[in-house]
Each structure stands twice: as C-alpha cells, then as structure tokens.
Structure 1
Amino acid sequence: MSRSTWHPAPHEVLRTTGRLIAVDAAEGATAALPAARAAVRRMPRYGGGSDLAAALAELYEVVGWILFDAGRHRPARSFNAHAYDLARRSGDRWTGRLVLLNHSMLLAHLGRPRAAFETAGRVRGPRPLPARVDSLVLVRQAHAAALRRGDREARTLISRARSRFLDGGSRHDPAWAWWVDEPELIGHHGWVLARLGAYDRAIPLLHRAATAPGPSYRHLFTAQLLAALAGAGAWRDAEALITATAPGAGRISSARTTAQLRRTAAHLRTGPRVPAALRDAAVFLLESL
C-alpha cells in the first residue's frame, strides 16, 4: 500500500509526534532530525478525516520546528505552510496559531521583522487569547520590533508579555502551552533587551534563563548571554561562561545556538580590546564546536 492511500489512526500519529517532541527536548533538533525524516517518509501528507488531518497538522508543526532549530530554513518554511493548511482544513485553530508563532520566529531569524510582526499578529482573533498564548504573541512581536530598532515599542511589548504571563494559566490553554513558563519569558525578555543594546538589564535576565532547568533548546539563552557579555565588554564573565560551556559545546544540537556561539567566539578571537586570556578561551570554544 502506498503512502498516499494508507491512513494511520490519529493516535498513532500523535504517538509519533510525542516521540519527536521528547527527543527534541532531551537532545536537541539536530539529534531529532533522523526521527523527523523517518516520520515524514512514513506518514501521509494529508488525512482522510478531520481527526487525522488535525493529528498530521501537529506532527508537521513539530517537524517544521525541528527543521528550523536545525538550521534547515527552506524545508521548515514548507512544513510550516503544510501544517497550517492541515490545521485550517481540520478546524484545529490552536495548532494553526502555534504554526504562525513558529513561522514568525523563523521570519525574524531570516531578517524579515515586519513580516514576523504581522504573522504573530494573525494569531489574535475576535476572542481574547489565554494569557500564555497572548504573552507568546507579544514576545514574537517584541523581537520583531527590536530588530526594526523600535526601542520603545519593543520594551513596551516585552513588558506586556511578562505581565500577561503573570495572569497565569487557565483551562483554555492549548496543550502545547506547557513550555511557555517563567524561564522562557525571562530569557526572551533578556534577549529583546540585548537586541536593543541594554546589556546591563539583559545580562541578569539571560543568566537566570540560561541556568534554569528546561528543554535542550534553551541552550540558546546561554549563547545569547555570551553575546550580551561580549557586547558589554564584561570580559571576565565572558571567559568564565566559555570555560563552563566549551566542554559540552560539541553536544549542543541546535544550529541556532551553535551559530550564535561561533559568531560571538569569532568576534572575541579578533576583537581589538579583548584580553589575551579571553581570546584563547574563544579559540577553545570554536575548537569545541
């Protein structure tokens, strides 16, 4: 039987999705790529009914996220579009909203802040969103505003995101909102401030997020912390962070994270005011990566 005519049960698709999420959270996107590719090869592109279509939308949303964090941007865009189409066909608005939030992040990463801002805004509808989801919309828009150098707007949006998160969870939260927690919001707050060059406020927030337990992809906050320390000229703290990070850097399975670490280490290796000891540490980090 061909893949085009075989229709798995929705619960089988959801089990596959759950396994992908577990691998990504524990080991990172690059480690999850083989399982994501195997799932794509095995599962049909479209479902025979709304329940199957909704389950496939969830699966392909996760595949799109893994591809993005693994640095595979073009296929990530394709799977985002396909997941959104499946969610729309099946009436699964919550998965559709998550796809839009993921795609906003991808657009910001690709240097398209206006499109990122507008895509995040499409998540809202006539009814108010639960606090956690609304806070994530505001986070995505704050990053986009920061990239457009909208200093005041970005600060306002990220502060509103923190305030909305503090409104707490509700029974209306979608199942995927489990990862929208305090360290996530704190980390993004610090990252937005670092984008604006407000390193004195960004560094403590990024440190709190980077040292909190959580999914593997939050190594990204460590990379952003190092970039902020370098931007602030906090040489001793940057050297200490590299010393702590470099031994395990080769096991980081997020292309976004390793790319940021490489950029910062390359800058520190050649920076005119960087102390010799920190230059040596930067070389060690590059070798470890």
Structure 2
Amino acid sequence: MEDRGTEGVIRVQRRLLTLEAAHGARAVVPALRDAVRRVPELAREPASLRGQDRDLLAALAELCEVIGWLLFDAGLHGPARRANARALALADLCGDRWTGRLVLLNHSMLQTHTGRPRAALETASRVRGPRPLPPRIDALVLIRRAHATALLGGHREAAELIGRARGRFLDGVSRHDPPWAWWLDGTELLGHEGWVLARLRHWDRAIPLLQAAATAPGGPAYRDLFGAELLSALAGAGAWRDAEELLVDLADRAAHTGSARTVESLAATALRLRRRAAAPASLRDGAAHLLEVLSARERPPAARP
C-alpha cells in the first residue's frame, strides 16, 4: 500500500515519530523500509522530482530529515548521511530553507559524533544566512559549534560558545522561529551545556547540569543519553558512590534503550570502569554486568532508505 500525495507523506512521518517516541530510534528501523515502500518518491533521485508540487517536495524533505535523524540515533551512520543529503536536495528544490537548516544542524551533530569536528564546524556555519537567526536557532548553532570545538581542544572557546548558547536561549521565543524549534527547551539546553563542560572535564559544573537534564520528567526517549553522559562524567570525576547508584539504575533500563548513541556511551564508560583500578570492586562488577546487558541486545538489521 502506498501513501501518495502530501498528506500521505505527512502520515508516514507521524507514524515514524510516534513509534520513536514510544520505543526509541532502534525500534523504528524496520518501519523505515516500509516508509520507502509507502512513499515511492523516496527511491527516486531528488533531481528527478524537480517541478513537482512545492508542498509535496517540502513534505518529502521533512520526511527525509526525520529518517536521517532516526538512522543517526539508531547508529546507522552511512544511511543517515545519505538521508541527510537527500533531505537537503529536496529542501533546495522547494526553497524550504528552515528544513534545510535543521538537516544541517543534525548533520553537524552526526559529524561530531563520528569524530569529524572540523567538518561539523563547517556544516554548522552553513546554517547562517544573510539575516540574523532567531534566538533558539542561533543557540542550536552555538551548541553544535561548542561540541565540535571541545573535541578539537579549544577549551576556552568551547566554554564561551556554550555560555553564549544559554544567553541566546534566554532571549526567548521569537515569532520567526520555525515550527521545529520547540524541542530546544530548558532541559535540552541543560543537557548539552553539561555535556560540553564534561567534554572539557569541568566536572563540578558539568555533573549538576547533566543530573538536572537526566532526571527531568517527560521528554523524548533520546534524552536517556544525558543519563549515559552523566555516568561518564561521574566516572571521570571519580565520584564512585554516585556512579555506582546511577549505574544500577541505568543497567535496569539498558535492555530497553532505543538510542544507539546511549548504548555506545554506556558501553564506553563501562569498559573504562572495568579497567579502572581505583574504582571500587563493586563498581567494576556493576560495569561488567552492564556490558553483559548491552551485549545481549539484539541489533536491528541494516536499513537503506
């Protein structure tokens, strides 16, 4: 069965987002193949769609953006890059600059995650245009730049960038914000601020921010990542008792974590703790148990939308 036309494409996008909200990105991977079957335009080269209805092209661009994001959070980086490229091409065809900017912000995050911080900075710089960005979007650009700069060793600059991001966020909502800007809320900002500071090993400042983000009620499934980064920060700071309490809680939930990024962060921290001679034996044992839980997870089949 195919979902044709703009409304059909929007229905497919909503189904994917509903599934992700309930079960996480990894659970959505099989549904992505179904999306390609339902929306035949996804199998065509974007250039071949030139001249199609603008609303349809815009809906396709948004759907590809969502697919790219889901593939990234599911740990399928190659397919995510291809989906992002398709989304950008479709957004260019219909002149949808805001969807194009969101794709660039997502792609910058993917590049940082895969160890390409210089490329991430270049991608983030493409979000800006001839007119000033609204505060929330400017804050997102600064967040992306802060993460990449921290990886490059620019400690002072990264701290300054994340501080500027908070300032821009506090400038408030603008009537020029695109519809997707809603997800940059106070919790998201806290999490990224703490994460950047943890990259800089500023444990005293990072840990309370990550704690606040990780324990905030509600929110999308991918925010479990802030809990994983909190565990990493506690391990880095040598806060063994707090790390052990959090590890027990995270191990109980790890088997159901839908974000591959969260799984990767938890596994990396658990490996470090197992080898950390200064860590208490009970914490090292807990880390070994967490690794067993994570290794028992069934990996989803590869997707090629």
Structure 1 residue aligned with 2:35: 39
Give the TM-score normalised by the residue count of structure 2. Answer: 0.91
* Shift of residue 7, structure 1, vs aligned partner: 8.2
2:158 matched to 1:154? yes
Amino acid at match of 1:99: V
Which of 132, 140, 147 lines up with 2:136 in the alignment? 132
Distance across 2 between alignment mates of 1:174 and 1:23? 23
Q: For the residues of structure 1 that align with 2:59 and 2:239, how far apart are their CA atoms?
A: 47
Deviation at 1:38, TM superposition (A): 1.1
Q: Which region of structure 1 is more displaced relative to structure 2, 171-180 or 75-84?
A: 171-180
Name the count of aligned residue pairs: 285
> Structure 2: which amino acid aligns with 1:26?
A
Where structure 2 has 5 or more consecutive residues not aligned to the other structure, the ranges are: 295-305
**TM-score normalised by L of structure 1:** 0.96
Matched, 1:73 2:73: no
Offset of residue 287 of structure 1:
2.0
The answer as to whether partners of 2:210 and 2:226 remain within 8 angstroms in 1 is yes
Alpha-carbon displacement from aligned partner over 1:11-69 (angstroms, at most 9, x marks no partner): 22112112212222222110111222211232113552211111000001000001111
Is the CA contact 2:3–2:38 (under 8 Å) kept in the aligned structure 1?
A: no
Question: For the residues of structure 1 that align with 2:206 and 2:21, how far apart are their CA atoms?
Answer: 25
- The CA deviation string for residues 60-107 of structure 1, in whole angstroms up to 9 with x for no partner, is 100000111111000100010000000010111110000000000011
Structure 2 residue 179 is the aligned partner of structure 1 residue 172: no
Higher relative contact order (CA 8 A, sep 6+): 2
- Residue 219 of structure 2 corresponds to which residue in structure 1? 214
- Residue of structure 2 in register with 1:224 after alignment: 229
2:201 maps to 1:197: yes
SS in 2 for 1:165: helix
Deviations 1:121-164 (CA, angstroms, capped at 9, x unpaired):
11011111111111101000000100101011101110010110
Q: Conserved in 1, the CA contact under 8 Å of 2:3 and 2:9?
A: no
Q: CA RMSD in A?
A: 1.4
The match for 1:86 is 90
Partner residue of 1:241 out of 242, 246, 267: 246
Give the fraction of aligned pairs with identical amino acids, expressed as a percent. 62
Q: Choose from 107, 114, 118 the match for 2:118.
A: 114
Distance 2:101 2:283 in 1: 43
After TM superposition, the runs of 4+ consecutive aligned structure 1 residues lying more than 3 A away are none
Identify unmatched segments of 5+ residues in structure 1. Answer: none
Deviation at 1:288, TM superposition (A): 2.1
Q: Residue 66 of structure 1 aligns to a residue in which SS?
A: helix
Q: Which amino acid aligns with 2:233?
A: A
